[in-house]
Chains A and B, each alone.
Chain A
């Protein structure tokens, strides 16, 4: 079963980058499904964790390059918060490669497609996200 990827894209830069990838007819895997958010700082840690628990195998957050944020400091807060989340997930033993933060501007359609390609291959290598579902069940226990 192919992996499920959720991508949070900020409306002003990376979502526009995704649209540009579209208009330039570039190609990236269909498992990637994009959720539009006003700014990368709108991506709450609960959204990412909820996605994993509900069956996503990889989550990528895209935002404007540092300094280009439409809301001036949004992406700095996003970076601060998400680096803490990623280091905690790694600490808890979840594969760090299932989450990713990338700055993509409205003019980088090609970069968007390339980033999605690379991310899907990276997550497919890890396969389905069993660790999230089994964290609370003893390896052998079956009470789900």
Chain B
């Protein structure tokens, strides 16, 4: 073991309060230190060259650099060591600037401490083993889970970069919530005009494979080497033969099934496509309500189908596939309003949620775009909107602001006023939050141009009496309680993660916050990646956001995923846990402590997967027999450092 010690002056930052010569002299008393020198600027070109020459001249096997914090130049000096032919992990840095010269004025105390820190670093480098970054292969294929605008956008971007993508959607067609919308803010252009071209591109793109009416059942592996098991639920229709002519759902006798796509405002048949522009435009037989599956009679759809695409015997198809990266795009659902009896949502048909209003306003919707009261079909003259129903509520609802309601309520108000100028619209709000680009101007147009009445206050109670909705409300600016009536009430309900998110997060072992949104690795440093390497977040599954932000984040997630797929080999961090299987008794206590589930029991001894392990060391310090150790921070090294500092 031949160690070289280099003490930096850092100009005057260190030299001012630490006697560098004294340290260089003192460390030579250690028999293993064969060379010690000091230099004004070690991080500069000249300084690094001095180190490289010394390594070659004295055949050094370990280098200690007493200078600034390792968080500053650890990588620089590792590259210097590599240039000199030394293993980059056989250098140690003693932080004698930020943690010594800058924080202790007294020269003797600072020099004494610096010498101790140098000796500690020497003790560490004596035990530093050469470490080699591991490599793991990358499967050049991505898996996007969730076929809404987020999933579609991410899939398109990754495919554009030339990588194969599997897009898995649980409902029979991609499109997600956006397909249900009528218009979008702030430009009021129609949702379908933006979405359907992207859906068709996604279906047509040779790099993208669509798996609709399918679910991911199991995911194993780690970044670059995921294996997913996907179940393609039986559609009972042969996708190759079906032309989407629609003869089957015309003839299907059971027509009274509430359509999920239309939020129950209209009905669908047992064999159905969710909406007209569905992609793929192939129907699905809902086996729970189809008479053929319930008691074996009927089968009309098979009779009328020329291409004979109907196949009642079709089974679920389960297949496994390798992936390099996985992107979660599971989107959101409307928060259930069961806890809010005061709004009479379940009692009166004329109290609806905003999503239901989208369907009523949509030309392809149940009323063909005519705004009608669901109870009697008349056109409502007076409509009241109530904001923050379920949002910003820590007792019965969600503590967060759902972010998109103020904008879509303003959009509804404008859209209604455009079609029915004489309609009277009141909106009860706590604060109108319109922070996006062109958003506030849009909201002011609703107030100033279309004369929508915004009331700062709340509705306490709604009761429907002979067709009229009576409301108890308060106006905070008037500071008085008053009663009012309306033909229809629209509740801006909160949004929450879709039910599929929680099981998916458990499958991917990615952290989730208490509200079941995926947690990002770091809000500012890594906003679209999850803490688990190789898993990326796209769209509302990470948190409430509107369509412009969703698309932006979807592309960001795609770009990060492409960053991984573009590499042939993934360099794994060498400072990972490693097991001495002669000492390991296989008790398995380390397995549960690992946040990355990197440890598994192989033939009665633990094993840490270097690609998954991030090197936190929780397992190493839990292991009673010191069998589990952490490269770079081994038990022996830290103990040697403790001894050196305490002597």
Contact = CB atoms under 8 A, between A and B. Distances in A.
* A and B touching (Cβ–Cβ under 8 A): yes
Given A19-B98, A28-B103, A42 B633 contact: yes
Given A30-B109, A43-B621, A72-B531, A51 B642 contact: yes
B71 A33 contact: no
Interface string B96-115: 01111011111001101100
Nearest to B519: A72
Given A28-B103, A42-B620, A71-B618, A35 B638 contact: yes
B617 A41 contact: yes
Given A42-B620, A56-B646, A33 B595 contact: no
Nearest to A20: B98
Contacts of B587: none
A42 B616 CA distance: 7
Nearest to A77: B618
A15 B98 CA distance: 10
A41 B642 contact: no
A19 B69 contact: yes
Contact of A6 (B105, B511, B621, B645): B645
Interface string A40-78: 011111110011001110000000000000111110010
A70 B616 CA distance: 9
B635 interface: yes
Contacts of A30: 100, 104, 106, 109-110, 112-113
Contacts of B104: 27, 29-30
Given A6-B645, A41-B617, A74-B616, A22 B69 contact: yes
B91 to A, nearest CB: 14
B645 A19 contact: no
Contact of B102 (A11, A23, A55, A70): A23
Given A35-B641, A74-B616, A26 B646 contact: no
A18 B98 contact: yes
Interface in B72-106: 95, 97-100, 102-106
Given A16-B71, A54-B647, A23 B98 contact: yes
Contacts of A81: 621-622
A18 B98 CA distance: 7
B549 interface: no
A39 B618 contact: yes
B634 to A, nearest CB: 11
A127 interface: no
Interface size class of B (residues with CB under 8 A): 35 or more
A71 B616 contact: yes
Interface string A5-22: 010000100011011011
A38 B647 contact: no
B197 to A, nearest CB: 40
A37 interface: yes
B51 to A, nearest CB: 21
A47 B630 contact: no
Contacts of B120: 33, 35
Contacts of B575: 38
A34 interface: yes
Given A22-B69, A37-B633, A41-B621, A72 B511 contact: yes
Contacts of A26: 103
A100 interface: no
A77 to B, nearest CB: 5
A14 to B, nearest CB: 11
B615 interface: yes
Interface in B363-412: none
Contacts of B633: 37-38, 42
B117 interface: yes
Contacts of B97: 22
Interface string B23-57: 00000000000000000000000000000000000
Instruction: Across the A-B interface, give the 9 residue pairs with the lowest CB-CB distance, nearest first.
Output: A22-B98, A42-B617, A44-B621, A71-B616, A41-B618, A30-B109, A54-B646, A22-B102, A19-B98
5 contacts: A23-B102, A30-B104, A33-B116, A35-B645, A72-B595
